Structures are given as structure tokens and as C-alpha cells.
Amino acid sequence: MSDKQVQLVDQVLAARERRQPVRIVGGDTKAFMGRSTDSALPVLDLSGHTGILTYHPVELVLTARAGTTLAELDAALSEHNQMLSFEPPRFGKNSTLGGTLACHLSGPGRPWWGSVRDQVLGVRLINGQGEALRFGGQVMKNVAGYDVSRLQAGAMGTLGVMTEISLKVLPRPASTRTLVFDCEMDEAVSIMNRRSVEAKPLSAACWLDNKLYLRLSGAHSAVDATLSHWGGSELMDAEHFWHRLRDHQLDFFCTSLPLWRFSVNPTARMPGLSGQWLVDWGGAQRWYLGNAELSEMERIAVEAGGQVSLFRGGDRSAEVMHTPPQAVKALQQRLKHAFDPDGLFNPGRLYSWM
Amino acid sequence: MSDRQDVHPGVSREVLAQKFRAFIDPEYVISDDETLKPYECDGLSVYSEMPMLVVLPETVEQAQQVLRICHEERVPVVARGAGTGLCAGAMPHREGVVLSMAKFNRILEINPVARAARVQPGVRNLAISEAAGKYGLYYGPDPSSQIACTIGGNVAENSGGVHCLKYGLTVHNLLSVDLLTVEGERITLGSEGLDSCGMDLLALMTGSEGLLGIVTEVRVKLLPKPEVAQVVMAGFDSVQTAGDAVGAIIAEGIIPGGLEMMDSHAIVAAEAFAKAGYPTEAKALLLCEVDGTEEEVHEHIDAVESLFKRLGATSVRTSHNEEERARLWQGRKSAFPAVGRISPDYYCMDGTIPRGQLAHVLTEMERMSEACGLRVANVFHAGDGNLHPLILFDANVPGELEKTEDFGGRILELCVAVGGCITGEHGVGVEKIRQMPAQFNDLDIAQFHRIKAAFDPAGTLNPGKGIPTLRQCQEYRSLEMSIEPNSGAENQLHREGGHE
Ligand SMILES: Cc1cc2nc3c(=O)[nH]c(=O)nc-3n(C[C@H](O)[C@H](O)[C@H](O)COP(=O)(O)OP(=O)(O)OC[C@H]3O[C@@H](n4cnc5c(N)ncnc54)[C@H](O)[C@@H]3O)c2cc1C
């Protein structure tokens, strides 16, 4: 637990005075994400700004400094049988809460339990003028002012230095069990969608290597009844499987090939490309391994009703995020200017033009 | 920049109406006072203003053209859905145009497999669930106004409902929105997938009260209808015990579909009105609805019942069929009209507090109520800490409305002081602009103005709403200092208390 708020504000003010852009770094486990940026830029280090400030299990609300590790949050929450319902990936043991929100990362339960942005209630943030601001709150509902907290999701630190984050947390389900079925990808996608229409306690649905995995979470009786109703065989050591999927530890991810992330209509049929697919989020997230051009991938994503990004590997000096239409690009640039007029934070990390 | 809230267009009503009639059915360009009258306010009728013009475009191209002309002429534009808003967010601007989205009332597509609906902004909230019903699906957020309010208004207010502890607010149930910028440019935020690249503009747009853009199409998520829902009603002899019971349910790991509380004034009024069988001698009443699969509901209902009994509930009743469930909810659902019957007028407030502060807040409210001589009844979305105090008053008594507003303002400040906020779901609009400085400091507010300027540099979209000018903030602060020299210190105390 340590408070670096004052130093952080000073560092931003100093950077501003010198017109010297900085790289914001938490646990440094997501350096592979976004575009590669000038490694000579000075680092604004959040890893020392840590600690859970308030946690009221019965209020389902937790507030922590942005540099707090997910591991520390897990430990505190599990004491009360609660969890971060968005199942954030741990790309290393130092993964922090701030980095998770900035990169908008959520795990296999996302379609049913919400994303990190869904669970965010409030943030404290230092803008490019060195002003320490506070938005949202520590209560579950707050519609006063613009939703600056959720705006940070996916901004990759380009709008400001998040120093404190309040979140909604949830009880751990009493029971979790997983079913496995043998099937091809297209069939798996239609089963996932069909199962999602049923009012059953489905909490994750993934396909890889000709196997469909369906996770059930909830009250014991409900999980058991659905399990026997749906058939299939039960996966042993399932928690390990879902963790390895969440953290990209499965063999599928252990390669040097470029990894593309498609966020699409869950029912979309993706074209048969030469590379490999993994389907997650009940069909709404597709991972593709293979060499390709961003423009070609964008065409496929748009056809499937969504967007694509080059998640890992490949050419990271070019654009890695889906190209926004001109009007949306202009809005993002004006918002960037509204928060960080001197362009101090993470220049070029999200887009070359920001 | 930030203090420019008054916009003065240089174009007359007739000239502007003429321009609009060139491409919109002349019947849908309203300029006579009599037909303009119904648009003078939203659901909060104590604030009203006659607009210069009302237009009801029928196509996105027409709406686009309206925006282009207004942008050119610097004419304020106030979007309007059904006008059920409770913060005067849709109140017209005297020199502006009301852009009614009422003609955009078509459900464009329901995809039962992908569990999504694509609808126009003027579609009523309940109409979506009705249309999705034949597929066993529904739209989650269910504001009490759902038979009337529109999805466009829901997006603009980030509306909630009794089921939002479990199923989320509007922001959690959107996939994408199409909008028109102030210049009349069409953009889409979000997609058919769950998450998009880059900063989350869809979230920023949700709850922005018509200040950043005009919503022209919405893609919402649909949820499978739960197999069963059952409700447990419990009476308690103190608010504290009822509050503890709410905490105990959560601690048990149960997230109810709905979890509502009413205080004794609300119980008595609701029972007299709806005859739902509420225990009128109780000091607090809880309605806890559990939904899910049959097995799950069975398991959780047992747990909730025994928990209520163990914690000293004075009466416990559980619904065993749909009819009983509807009856138990009837009282809560008619709480507003019920209160309307025991008083000539009532004023509905909307603050959020950490649940643990409930007993303290209600006691304080009772004290304020006695001091100012106005009764207050409370209904409470207990699961997520959203309070709706209903202040009873008589608008025909000179000065009573002002007294009511003052009391309401104090309640919101109390919510902030205990770690909560001034609005959980109704929005700021004109109504709560005065209390914004209680929740945000001038730097935060200046940042809000810079966000607004990024979308609408001339400030013509819904001017005077949502975000106070810095001058208004200064006035608020100097007034606070002159009235209550100690309130700052007290606030500080509560704020810390609230975080414990
Ligand atoms: C009896 C009653 C009960 C209520 N219960 C609830 C409740 O349980 N939960 C809750 O959250 N609210 C509740 N409300 C408040 C209200 O119904 C909601 O705020 C609702 O979302 C407003 O929708 P509307 O279509 O009436 O919008 P309006 O009142 O017409 O407008 C509301 C705001 O949205 C803007 N707007 C409208 N359409 C658009 C558009 N297409 N694009 C951009 N901006 C737009 C307007 O400018 C205005 O600022 C209740 C109201 C009443 C009268």
C-alpha cells in the first residue's frame, strides 16, 4: 500500500512544462499491446501507487489505487467469496487494475457478467494539465456528469493517468462445472448461440481444436440440472482450462504468429482462412492466428458486424486498431485534446495519429 | 468557453419554420402557441418554457437537415422522446427548436439468435420487450415509466429500473447507437460485437442528456426470459433491520432480480391505493424478487425467507404464482400515484447512497422534514442504493414549492455527504444543475465543459442543462458559505464516515 498521488501530479506538471511526453506503465505486462512507441520516452510509473482503499463486501463496491495488482484484489475478494466478475486476463503476475481498464480487457464470462468497463463506477484521473479530477462515484448508480470513467476503457492511457478506480464486484457463484463436446467450428457457434437463448446458467462458451466448452455457474441445483439436461461429458480440472484461456496460456496462443482479435456479431460465420481460429464469448470474440493485412482483416470484421485489432505480434509500427471512420476519428482527436492538450500521454500507442 | 450557455440565434420563428417546411411535412413543423403548449415541459412540470418551434422529422435525412440548418443559424436544439423525463432535460429553449423523435417509432429488426434488436429512438421501452417476447426474450432495463418512455430517452438518461442490480442499466444493455452530431453528421458508436477499439465513446454518449448528439438508432441486447420469478415480501419494525437484511442477502451470495424497500409513509399510501396486502404497521417493507431457473429460484427463495425470519422480520409472505407476484408488486409499482392521492402534489427526488448509510440518511431526512414542515415518503431501489424520496407539498400554497425544492436540494447534498451522488437515474437536466457543485469541484466541471466543446463547440445542443457554468458553481459555493458555515466540515465528516 503506497500513495504516489503527489509525485504523479508533480511528474505530469514537470512533463508539461518541458513538453516531454511520457509512457504510462503499470505492471508492464501489456507492453505487447497497442502500437510500439518510442522506448526512449520517460516512464510514468504507476506500479508503486497501490492499495485497496475501501472494500465493502455487502455494498459490492471496491476502490483501489490504479497500480494495485489483480493478484492483490483477488486475494482480498476471495476472503469474502467475491470476485472481479469480468475475469481480467493476467498476462503476468504484476498485471494491475489500471492497465486492465485502460486496455479494456475482460475474460471468458464477459457476455454474461459484463466487461471491466461495465463494472467501473468511478475513477480519479490526472489530466494533461496536471489536474487531479474525480468522476463517477462509489455507488452503483450515478448519472451526474458525463461518464468519464467508462470512457477510459480502451483509451490505453491516452486521456490521462488513472490513479484510483471504483468497481462493482460480485459474489462467486456457488457452483461451476464445464461440459465438453466434439464438434466443428460452425456447428459450435450455432450451439453456443442456441444455448445462450435458453434461460440457463451459462457463463462461458468457447471453441477450439474441434471441441466446444460450455461453462455453467450458479446455484448448485441449477448447474447440476442443466448439466444433466444438456448432456456431453464433463471437463475435469475445468478452472485451470478457463484460466489458461483467459490468460492466453493455452497452446493456441503460444506462437510467434500475429494474433488478431475480432469482436463481432456472435452468430457471424467467419471465412475459412489459412490460419487458425479460436472462438470465445459465445461467438462474440474470435481469435485468429495468421499473417494478414489489417485492411483485409477489417473487411472481414465489418462483414461480421464488428471490428478487429492486431492483438499481439505482427507489425506494431503500423496501425493495430480497427480504422475508425473520419468523423469518429475527429471526435477522438478532439477528446484527446480536451484531456491532454499537449499530447503528453502515451503518444502513438493507440493510433499513430494520437 | 465554459460559461457560454446562452445562445442567441439571429433567425426568426417564421423564417426558420419556412426553411423546415421545405423538406418536412408542414403539419410536423409546429409554430402556433396552442399546438406548442404540450411541449413546454417534460415529466417535471414545475419547470416549463415555450419553444420557438417544434419539428417532428420522419427520416434521418430530415433530422440531419434540421441539425444542419440549426447549426448554421446557431439555433439551440432540444431533443425530445416521450417527455417523461424527471429533471427537465427535455424542457424547451425559448429561442430554440424542439426536435421530437416521436415519428421514429419502428422496430427495425429483431435477431432472436444473436439476441439483439435494432430500433428507432422513438420506440417505447416496453414495446421492445413485447416484440421480443415471442422469442422468449426481453429488454432488461425496465424504468417504471416503461409503457411511455422511449429508448432514445433511455440512452440519453442511462435509465435504470427495478431489475438493474442484476441486469444493469441502459449502458450495460446497448450494443451500438447511431447518432447525428451537432453538424448533422451521421456516426455509429459500438457494433454488433460486444467491445470496440479505442476509447469508449458509446459509454460517454450514454447518459449525456442530449448534450453531445442526437440518437437516431439503437441496437440493444435482449436477454432470455427467466424460467421463473418469485417475490418475498417482508415487513420490519425498523429501517435499520430492513437495511441489514438487504446486506445479508448479498452476503449470502444472492443477487436478486429486484430488491425494493419502502418506508412506513410509502407503505401506508401504497396499501390504501393498491390493497396489495402490505403490513401497514411496519416501519419498512422489503420486496425481494429472485429469478432464474426453477431449481435456482427454489434454492434462493428458501434462503431469503429464512434469512428474513432470522433477522426479525415481523411478517413474511412469498408469491406462489404469477397473480400473487403481480399483486405484491402492485403496491410498489403504484407508489407514486398512491402518494399523489394523499397530497395535492409530490416531488420525486433521486439520490444514490452507499446502502450502509440508509438508516442514517432516513433519520436525517425525517429531521429535515420536521424542521421544514413537509412530509416525505421513501421508495428505495435498495439493491443498488438508489433513493426516491417523495416530498409532499401543495403548489397552491405560496412559497411551498420553493420550500420543497430547497428541502430536495438538501437531501441531495446529504447523499453526496455520505459518499453517494445527486442522481442515480433521472439525470441532472435543469433541475439538479444547482447541486452539481456539491458532487464535483470546479476542475471536474471545467473538464466536462471541454468534453462538451469537443462535440458541440457552439453549445447549441440542449443548452443550459446537465453541466453548470463555472459562474453557477461560484454562486452555489458562496451561497453555501453564507448560509451554513459549518456544513463544509460536516460534509467532510460524513464523507469520511461514508468511506469506512
Ligand atoms: C412515472 C415515472 C416513472 C419513472 N420511472 C423511472 C425509472 O424507474 N427509472 C428511470 O431511470 N427513469 C424513470 N423515469 C424517468 C424517465 O421516464 C426516463 O428518464 C426516460 O428515459 C425518459 O425517456 P423519454 O423518452 O420520456 O425522454 P424525454 O423526457 O423526452 O427526454 C429525456 C432526455 O433525453 C433527451 N433525448 C430524448 N430523446 C433523445 C434522442 N433521440 N437523442 C438524444 N437525446 C434525446 C432529451 O433531450 C432529454 O434531455 C420515470 C418517469 C416517470 C414520469
Q: What is the pLDDT of residues A193-250, one digit of tens each?
A: 999 999 999 999 999 999 999 999 999 999 999 999 999 999 999 999 999 999 999 9
Give the confidence band of B235 by pLDDT, cuts at 50, 70, 90: very high
**Mean pLDDT score of chain B, rounded to an integer?**
93
Give the confidence band of B340 by pLDDT, cuts at 50, 70, 90: confident
Every domain of chain B with CATH number 3.30.43.10 lies at: 13-100
Answer whether B91's CB lies under 8 Å from B42's CB.
Answer: yes
pLDDT computed for residue B273 by the predictor: 93
Answer whether A212's CB lies under 8 Å from A205's CB.
Answer: yes
Following DSSP, what letter does each residue of B55-77 receive, concatenated? E--SSHHHHHHHHHHHHHHT--E
Give the confidence band of A67 by pLDDT, cuts at 50, 70, 90: very high
Which residues in B97-124 are b (16+ Cβ under 10 Å) and which e?
bbbbbbbbeebeebbeebbbbbbbbbbb
Inform me whether the pLDDT recorded for B492 exceeds 50. no
Answer whether A194's CB lies under 8 Å from A247's CB.
Answer: no
d(CA B95, CA B50): 9
- B194 and A155 within 8 Å at the Cβ level: the answer is no
d(CA B63, CA B216): 9
ipTM over 0.90: yes
CATH for the B107-224 domain, from 3.30.465.10, 3.40.50.20, 3.40.50.720, 3.40.50.280: 3.30.465.10
Give the confidence band of B479 by pLDDT, cuts at 50, 70, 90: confident
Read off the pLDDT of each residue in B458-466 and give the average, rounded to a whole number.
Answer: 97
Give the confidence band of B426 by pLDDT, cuts at 50, 70, 90: very high
- Ligand 1 atom 23 nearest Cα: B153
Q: Within 6 Å (CB) of ligand 1, which residues are found?
A: B 42-43, 78-86, 89-90, 101, 121, 143-145, 149-150, 152-154, 156-157, 159-161, 209-210, 214-215, 336, 425-426, 462
Locate A38 and state its grid cell: 518510442
pLDDT computed for residue B482 by the predictor: 72
Residue B221: which H helix or E strand, with range?
Answer: strand B214-221
Read off the pLDDT of each residue in B260-275 and give the average, rounded to a whole number.
Answer: 94
Lowest mean pLDDT among A32-36, B80-84, B491-495: B491-495
Read off the pLDDT of each residue in A128-137 and give the average, rounded to a whole number.
Answer: 96
pLDDT computed for residue B8 by the predictor: 65
d(CA A198, CA A352): 44
Every domain of chain B with CATH number 3.30.70.2190 lies at: 228-339
d(CA B119, CA B319): 35
Residue A1 CA to ligand 1 center (angstroms) comes to: 43
Contacts 24+ apart (CB under 8 A), B263-266: B263/B239, B263/B362, B263/B377, B263/B378, B263/B379, B263/B380, B265/B339, B265/B375, B265/B376, B265/B377, B265/B378, B266/B335, B266/B338, B266/B339, B266/B377, B266/B378, B266/B379, B266/B390
> Strand, helix or coil at B53?
strand
Q: Please, what CATH class does the domain formed by B228-339 belong to?
A: alpha beta
β-bridge pairing B376-381 and B386-393 = antiparallel
Segments of A49-102 assigned E as strands = 52-56, 61-65, 82-83
Give the confidence band of A288 by pLDDT, cuts at 50, 70, 90: very high
Every domain of chain B with CATH number 3.30.465.10 lies at: 107-224
Task: Residue B298: list chain A partners with CB under 8 A.
Answer: 221
Q: What are the residue ranges of helices labelled H in B46-200?
A: 60-73, 125-132, 151-157, 164-167
A282 DSSP assignment: G
Is any Cβ of chain B less than 8 angstroms from the Cβ of A127? yes
Read off the pLDDT of each residue in B76-99 and give the average, rounded to a whole number.
Answer: 97
pLDDT computed for residue B4 by the predictor: 45
User: Radius of gyration of chain B from Cα atoms?
Assistant: 23
Inform me whether the pLDDT recorded for A270 exceeds 70. yes
Residue B426 CA to ligand 1 center (angstroms) comes to: 7
CA-based nearest distance A168→chain B, Å: 10
Which single residue is written with the C-alpha cell 511528474? A11
Residue A195: which H helix or E strand, with range?
Answer: helix A185-197
- For chain B, how many residues are written? 500
Inform me whether the pLDDT recorded for B339 exceeds 70. yes
Q: How many beta carbons lie within 10 A of that of residue A294, not counting itself?
A: 21
Counting atoms of ligand 1 from 1, which one is nearest the CA of B85? 29
- Please name each of the domains of chain A with its CATH number: 3-171 (3.30.465.10), 175-246 (3.30.70)
Q: What is the pTM of this model?
A: 0.96
Answer whether A211's CB lies under 8 Å from A182's CB.
Answer: yes
Inform me whether the pLDDT recorded for B2 exceeds 80. no
Q: Determine what percent of chain B is predicted with pLDDT higher than 90.
A: 89
Is any Cβ of chain A less than 8 angstroms from the Cβ of B422? yes
Task: Residue A306: list chain B partners with CB under 8 A.
Answer: 191-193
- Provide the chain B residues 426-455 that lie in CB contact (below 8 A) with chain A: 426-428, 432, 436, 439-441, 443-445, 447-448, 450-455
- B195 and A263 within 8 Å at the Cβ level: the answer is yes
- B200 and A135 within 8 Å at the Cβ level: the answer is no
Counting atoms of ligand 1 from 1, which one is nearest the CA of B465? 49
pLDDT computed for residue B364 by the predictor: 94
Give the confidence band of B484 by pLDDT, cuts at 50, 70, 90: low
pLDDT computed for residue A309 by the predictor: 98
Following DSSP, what letter does each residue of A135-191 receive, concatenated? EE-SSS---SS--HHHHTTTSTTSS-EEEEEEEE-EEPPSEEEEEEEE--HHHHHHH
Give the confidence band of A24 by pLDDT, cuts at 50, 70, 90: very high
- B428 and A139 within 8 Å at the Cβ level: the answer is no
- Provide the chain B residues 336-365 that lie in CB contact (below 8 A) with chain A: 352-356
**What would the pLDDT profile of A133-189 be if each residue is shown by its tens digit?**
999 989 999 999 999 999 999 999 999 999 999 999 999 999 999 999 999 999 999
Residue B87 CA to ligand 1 center (angstroms) comes to: 9
Counting atoms of ligand 1 from 1, which one is nearest the CA of B462? 47
pLDDT computed for residue B3 by the predictor: 44
Read off the pLDDT of each residue in A255-276 and give the average, rounded to a whole number.
Answer: 95
> Strand, helix or coil at B214?
strand
d(CA B209, CA A146): 9
pLDDT computed for residue B498 by the predictor: 32
Q: What is the dotted CATH code of the domain comprising B13-100?
A: 3.30.43.10
Answer whether A293's CB lies under 8 Å from A282's CB.
Answer: no
pLDDT computed for residue B6 by the predictor: 57
pLDDT computed for residue B483 by the predictor: 61
Read off the pLDDT of each residue in A267-281 and give the average, rounded to a whole number.
Answer: 94
